[in-house]
Each structure stands twice: as C-alpha cells, then as structure tokens.
C-alpha cells in the first residue's frame, strides 16, 4: 500500500503512513485540539495599484512559497490560501505533543522570512499573524471534499490577525498558556475583537527562549531508583579511561523516564572522579536548518561559545581551543589550526571558506577537522560527548558518530546518547574495536516512585491523592513531577478562593 503523500510503502490496512504520519484512509469528521495560524499580507492592495498584475502575482507566489515552507518545516499543514491570506493547522491531521509551540515558532520564522524577502525584492509587504488554540471540528466538506477545520477557534485566529500590527504575531490565551515556558511574550492586554462582546486576552510573541524539543521542568528532584544503572554506566566509563578504549553508551527509554537525567549524573561523576572533559549537545525535532545542530551545540559548549555569539568572537574562541591542542601547521596530512578552525565553524553553522564547496567535500573537510580536534584533545585528557534525543538526529550526524567511534577506538573517548526506542529502527552503534552498551531504561518501580514522591511532596498530600499520583504516573519521573506541580497549583487556587488551605485531590483527567 503506497502513501499518497510521500510514496512510502506501508503495511496493508494501516491507518497512518509509517514515514510521514499522514492518514492512509478517508478522514471522517472528528473533534480535535488544534492550533490555527492565520496570516495576512499587508501592502498587497498597494502593490496591485502600482504594478502589473503578472508582477504582483509573481511576487505574491514567491512570498507564499517561502511562507508555506516555514509552515511545513514546523510540522504544520496549509489548510487554505485565500487571496493574500494563509490558514495553517497544527495538530490535524497529524498531532504532535507541542503543536501550539510549533505554530508560534513557525509564525516567528514567517516574519523573518518575509522580512528577508521584502528586502531582497524591494516590495513593501509585511505580514500580520494570529495564532489560537482550542477544540475544532475537522473533516472533509461534503460540497468540496477538502479537509479543513471549523469552529470558533478558527474565527478567533482570524480576528487576532486583524488586531495584529504589521510584523506582529498575536496569540490567544490558550496558546500563550501552552507555550509561555518556551516563547517570550509581551502582554497586549484585553482587546475587543470584531464580532465579539467579551474582550480577548492577547499576547505578542517576541522571541524563542529555548530550541525546539526542550521540555521545561517545574521541579528538579533527586535521582532515585537508578543505582544499578548508575553502576553499569559509571563502570563502563571508567574502563574506557583506564584501558584507553572508546566507549559508546546508548540509553533508551520513553519520554520523561529520566534518560537525560541519568546521563547527566554519569557525566558529573566522570568529571569529578575520572577527570573527563564534557562536550554536550541536544538534537532538535524541527525548525533547524543546520543538520549538524547537535554537534554544533557540543562544540560550542566545549569551546565556551554562546548560542548567539557573532562570527569574530566564535572564531577567536575556537582558535584558542584548537591552538591549545593542535599543531599550527599541517602535520602528516592532518590539517593545521586554520583548517581545523574553519571546519569546526562550518559545523557550528557560521559562514566561512567551506560554504563555497560542494556538499560532499565540505562535509568531508568538516568531519576531518572534528576528528583532528577530538583526537588531539583526547591525547591530553579523556573526552565525553553527550547528545540528548538522538532519535531526532539527521542521518549525517549518525554517520559522523560511527566515524568518531571508529577513529577514536584506541583512546579514552566516551560517547553517551539518550534516545527513544524508535531510534533503533534506523540506527544502532556500529560494531568495531570500541566498546558499546545499550541500556534500556524502564520506569521506576513502585518503591522508588514512592520515594521520589516523598522528596517532591513530603507530607503535603493525603493517602488517597498519593495512591492516585503513583498510579497515574506509571513510574515515569517527569510525569510524577508534573502531577505534583498540578496538585500544588490546584490546591493554591482553591485556598485562594476559600481563604483556607485544604488538601485537594487532583481534578479528574
């Protein structure tokens, strides 16, 4: 059975494509929580009055092509294009755990894209965007057959767009609540939207606070119930250091089970007891044009380069780091400082000499620069590279990991990765002269979950609520932390309303 969207061969009878997630069967009507993005070009009418219709069409078509790419890059689906407006859906037909965040990130990227296009083309066009989240009815219209969303959420997104200033992204209350930990906002207060009697609380999205895929934690609890796993991983690291043999550690488990926390604890012990230097990065699920992002982040951390540092500052810090371990000039065919610095800056996404090369050659030279830098560094002290969420990594990054492990097999080099089990469908550590260990991390047992709950809430909850929290969390530390936070917030709200502070059970899900 072939997917009509991407052409992948799928199992007969499957409801969704295994490759792109699009539905394989005819879609019926259903209620879904969706984030709607409504964008409207400003200056279109003036262009129509001043330019030939063909020129106007060409300008608008090119603008829409770029804007639609932004929508799809963040996992959205263009619902319709009406004149000079775009309506996009995030959460239907394919839902993600962070659709509201994806929509706002896409809106901010669209503003950047159109700004660059307006400057490039000389057209005086800008864009207003409204974003709103809520329950809608999605399905195919009987008259036209097109899949679309209907409901007040769509209407409100349109009204938010009309309230926005050119170049502004306005979001509604539900969108703001779902994304405020990841997106920077400025309150616009309560505005009266056309056709509504009650004011609508709106915010202006200004900037992103963290890269995609970073899950904010409301609490940072102690590590419990992982003594066995800690012993296995710490011993593997120690063997790498004492025997001078590379070690690949892959920690697999479901979201929130504590993979990254465990890797961080192992790294902290390795740094204090074994003197290992850390390079840490994280893979992102969408929105990043540089496929080397996780490697770039690891290099930035190792060289002390901030996320938004300009090229000159990044080059100075990279040169200092490379000069400390590498010979100034080429030795035995290995690149010298200048070549290594250029390669590392290329991986970090900066402009440089490698930008003018074809893709394959640039990748080869950048990879060689990284290998040279790490090999020279690991001769001075043990090195650990940690990459979180490897299931989101580009294939080029996975291939580079194999190269690193093979090239540094006879050195005290440790690579630690955390991932969901879906990674094993497309990658597993290559067999070689290095050691490798795959650790499947299970949820906490009941006793460990109970101990974690004690550290999070102590005696603040009654026995019934305690049992319910342990049951609902299913041994997942992150879920338990979030549930305890939810109970605390609900209790505070009730206490504020009544003037007392009773212990209140968690509302039914």
User: For residue 173, what is the domain's CATH number?
Assistant: 3.30.70.1230
**Is there a domain that residue 504 lies in?**
no
Q: Is 5 part of any domain?
A: no
Q: Say if 377 falls within a structural domain.
A: yes
- Encode 229-245: b = buried (16+ Cβ within 10 Å), e = exposed: beeebbebbbebbeeeb
134 part of a folded domain: yes
Give the residue from 208, 243, 260 where a domain finishes. Answer: 208
Q: What is the pLDDT along the chain (509 residues), one digit of tens a residue?
A: 667 666 677 776 676 776 666 666 545 567 888 899 999 998 877 777 777 888 888 888 899 999 999 999 999 999 888 888 999 999 888 888 899 999 999 999 999 999 999 888 888 889 999 999 988 777 655 444 566 667 788 888 999 999 999 999 999 999 999 999 899 999 998 877 666 667 888 999 999 998 888 776 656 677 899 999 999 999 999 999 999 999 999 999 998 899 999 999 999 999 998 889 989 999 988 877 788 999 999 999 989 998 889 999 999 999 999 999 987 766 555 678 999 999 999 999 998 898 878 878 989 999 999 999 999 999 999 999 999 999 999 999 999 999 999 999 999 999 999 999 999 999 998 888 999 999 999 999 999 999 999 888 877 788 888 899 999 999 999 888 888 888 876 666 555 655 544 443 433 43
The answer on 158 and 267 residing in a single domain is no
Distance, CA of 16 to CA of 11 (rounded, Å): 9
Number of folded domains that form the chain: 3
Asked if 247 and 304 sit in the same domain, the reply is: yes
Of 208, 235, 253, the residue at which a domain comes to its end is 208
242 lies in the same domain as 364: yes
Burial class (CB in 10 A: 0-12, 13-18, 19+), 251: buried
- Do 267 and 189 belong to one domain? no
pLDDT of residue 4: 61
Same domain, 435 and 464: no
pTM: 0.79
The dihedral built from the CA positions of residue 443, 419, 211 and 36, taken in this order, carries a sign that is negative
d(CA 440, CA 297): 26
* Dihedral sign computed on CA atoms, order 294, 400, 394, 358: positive
Do 416 and 494 lie in a common domain? no
Quick one: 108 and 67 in the same domain? yes
Both 263 and 357 in one domain: the answer is: yes
Asked whether residue 509 is domain-assigned, the answer is no
487, part of any domain: yes
Are residues 277 and 387 located together in one domain of the fold?
yes
Structural domain includes residue 202: yes
334 with 364, same domain: the answer is yes
* Residue 253 and residue 123 share a domain: no
Within this chain, do residues 382 and 436 fall inside the same structural domain, yes or no? yes
Provide the domain limits for residue 357.
227-440
Domain boundary among 158, 177, 208: 208
Question: In this predicted structure, what is the pLDDT of residue 508?
Answer: 41
Q: Is residue 17 part of a domain?
A: no
């Amino acid at each position: 059975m072939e997917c009509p969207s991407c052409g992948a061969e799928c199992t007969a009878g499957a409801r969704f494509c295994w490759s792109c997630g699009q539905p394989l069967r005819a879609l019926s009507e259903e209620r879904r929580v969706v984030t709607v993005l409504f964008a409207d070009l400003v200056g279109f009418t003036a262009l129509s009055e001043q330019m030939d219709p063909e020129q106007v069409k060409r300008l608008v078509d090119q603008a829409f092509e770029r804007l639609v790419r932004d929508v799809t890059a963040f996992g959205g689906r263009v619902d319709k294009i009406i004149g000079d407006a775009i309506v996009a859906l995030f959460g239907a037909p394919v839902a993600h755990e962070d659709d509201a965040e994806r929509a706002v990130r896409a809106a901010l990227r669209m503003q950047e894209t159109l700004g660059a296009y307006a400057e490039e083309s000389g057209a005086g066009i800008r864009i207003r965007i409204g974003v709103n989240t809520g329950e809608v009815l999605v399905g195919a219209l009987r008259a036209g057959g097109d899949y679309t969303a209907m409901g007040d959420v769509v209407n409100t997104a349109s009204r938010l767009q009309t309230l926005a200033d050119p170049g502004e992204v306005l979001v509604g209350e539900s969108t703001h609540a779902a994304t405020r930990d990841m997106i920077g906002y400025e309150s616009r207060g309560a505005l009266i939207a056309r056709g509504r009697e009650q004011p609508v609380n709106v915010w202006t999205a200004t900037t992103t606070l963290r890269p995609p895929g970073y899950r904010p934690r409301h609490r940072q609890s102690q590590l419990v119930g992982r003594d066995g796993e800690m012993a296995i991983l710490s011993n593997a690291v120690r063997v790498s250091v004492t025997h001078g043999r590379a070690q690949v550690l892959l920690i697999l488990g479901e979201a929130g089970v504590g993979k990254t926390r465990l890797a961080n604890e192992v790294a902290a012990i390795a740094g204090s007891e074994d003197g290992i230097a850390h390079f840490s990065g994280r893979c992102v699920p969408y929105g990043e044009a540089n496929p080397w992002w996780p490697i770039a982040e690891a290099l930035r951390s190792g060289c002390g380069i901030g996320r938004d540092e300009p090229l000159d500052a990044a080059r100075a810090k990279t040169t200092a780091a490379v000069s400390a371990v590498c010979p100034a000039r080429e030795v035995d065919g290995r690149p010298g400082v200048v070549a290594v610095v250029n390669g590392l800056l290329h991986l970090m996404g900066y402009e440089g000499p490698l930008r003018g090369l074809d893709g394959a050659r640039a990748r080869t030279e950048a990879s060689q620069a990284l290998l040279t830098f790490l090999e020279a560094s690991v001769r001075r002290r043990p090195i650990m590279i940690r990459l979180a969420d490897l299931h989101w990594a580009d294939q080029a990054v996975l291939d580079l990991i194999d190269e690193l492990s093979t090239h540094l097999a006879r050195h005290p080099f440790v690579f630690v990765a955390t991932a969901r089990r879906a990674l094993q469908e497309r990658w597993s550590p290559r067999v070689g002269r290095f050691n490798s260990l795959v650790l499947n991390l299970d949820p906490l047992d009941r006793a460990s979950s109970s101990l974690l709950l004690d550290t999070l809430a102590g005696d603040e909850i009654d026995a019934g609520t305690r049992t319910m929290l342990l049951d609902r969390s299913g041994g997942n530390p992150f879920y338990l932390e979030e549930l305890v936070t939810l109970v605390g917030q609900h209790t505070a709200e009730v206490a504020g309303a009544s003037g007392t502070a009773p212990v209140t059970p968690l509302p039914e899900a």
